[in-house]
Structure 1
Amino acid sequence: MRKAWIFGLLALMASMAFSCTDELQDPDKEVKYNGPTLENKDVVTLYSDSAKLLVKLQAPVQQEFENGDGVFPKGLYVEFFEKPGEMTSTLKANYAKQDKNKDVYLAKGNVVVNNIQKQEKLETEELYWDKNKQEIYTDKFVKITTAEEIITGKGLRANQDFSRYSITKVTGTFSLKEEE
């Protein structure tokens, strides 16, 4: 019995010795989870001022991260309103990311902005939407189709309803009118 007790004590001491050799991990060096903290499906977000609907944002998936930023990995569709019930323009993209601190959205992949009232369409691969300044801009290639012409260029700045815009560097203008 005494041998069993001594053997048990030696085994306990050996296991304690081995367990004490594990170094403590620095929590700052541990691999941290950087993925979304929240994921919503079939999202509809309404932005209003004084009970007046200004913007309606829809997305199949919205992911939110610890810092408050949001990602729309399957794209988004945004409707802009001037007066109640009067949609002025739309924005559609295959992917988008929201910088929560700046309240700026980055839309990427087959970005299309339609001005419904003027029947004009903007196409680009990347576009920023500054919600606070109510403007859209890009430094990438743009194509604008109006009733009478197609304008191409590089870089654009416009108000968010796409009723006024300026192209930084126009590279081409093509008339859609038939000449008689």
Structure 2
Amino acid sequence: MNCFKNLLGIIVAVNMLLACNSSVDNPVPKVKYTGPIMQTGNVTTLYSDSARLKIKLQAKIESRYENGNAEYPKGINLTFYDPNQQVSSTLRANYAKYDKQRDSYFARGNVIVNNIKKGETMKTEELHWDKIKRQIYTDKFVTIQTKTDVVQGNGLVSDDGFVHWKILNPTGTFIVEKPQ
């Protein structure tokens, strides 16, 4: 019986020593949640300056993240207004995300930009909108339908109202009139 008590005491002491000894050098790290902190449906956000509406953003779903970024997984519709509060242009895409640090948007999937006043429509698969520079741009293939022509090419730079645009590498057939 005495031998049993001694053996039990040794086993308990060894277990206590092993329990005190940190045999786990790398415990399982805590996984930080990086998903959205808020999700909202049927969103309408109005951007104004000096009490004048500049942009209306509409989306079926908006996911907001802790760092201020946002994602629009079901698409986005932007409406741009001129100083007279008239719609000047629109932008729509199947997916978009907002980068708060750069204050810019990225849109992809059936991106369509319409300049209402000029009657011009641009189509591409990806588009970046830099709010600070007030510029839209892409390095992807674009098609622009004007009132009289269809212009195509790779890459585009434009003001964010899609008034003054430039295709960086035009492709296709062009009609050039001979000077008289």
**TM-score of the pair, normalised by structure 1:** 0.82
Q: Where do 1:1-180 residues align within 5 Å?
A: 23=24, 29-173=29-173
Q: Which has the larger radius of gyration?
A: 2
SS in 2 for 1:41: strand
| Contact 2:89–2:162 (8 Å) recurs in 1 | yes
Name stretches of at least 5 consecutive residues in structure 1 with no aligned partner: 1-6, 176-180
CA distance in 2 between counterparts of 1:173 and 1:162 reads 23
CA distance in 1, matches of 2:58, 2:16: 58
- Flag the 1:174–1:121 CA change in 2: closer, same or farther, 3 A: farther
CA offset at residue 174 of structure 1? Answer: 6.8
Higher strand share: 1
C-alpha spacing 1:119/1:174, structure 2 compared with 1 (3 Å) = farther
Kept after mapping to 2: 8 A contact 1:141/1:154:
yes
Structure 1 contact 150–174 (Cα < 8 Å) conserved: no
Measured against aligned partners, the alpha-carbon deviations of 1:93-148 in whole angstroms (never above 9, x if no partner) come to: 00001110111100000000001111110000000011122111111100000111
- Alpha-carbon distance between aligned partners in 1 of 2:124 and 2:167, rounded to the nearest angstrom: 12
Work out the number of aligned pairs and report it. Answer: 172
Report the TM-score, using the length of structure 2 for normalisation: 0.82
Stretches of 4+ moved more than 6 A in 1?
A: none
CA RMSD across the alignment: 2.8
Give, in whole Å, the separation in 1 of the partners of 2:23 and 2:74.
44
By how many angstroms is 1:33 displaced? 1.8
Contact 1:53 1:84 in 2 (8 A): no
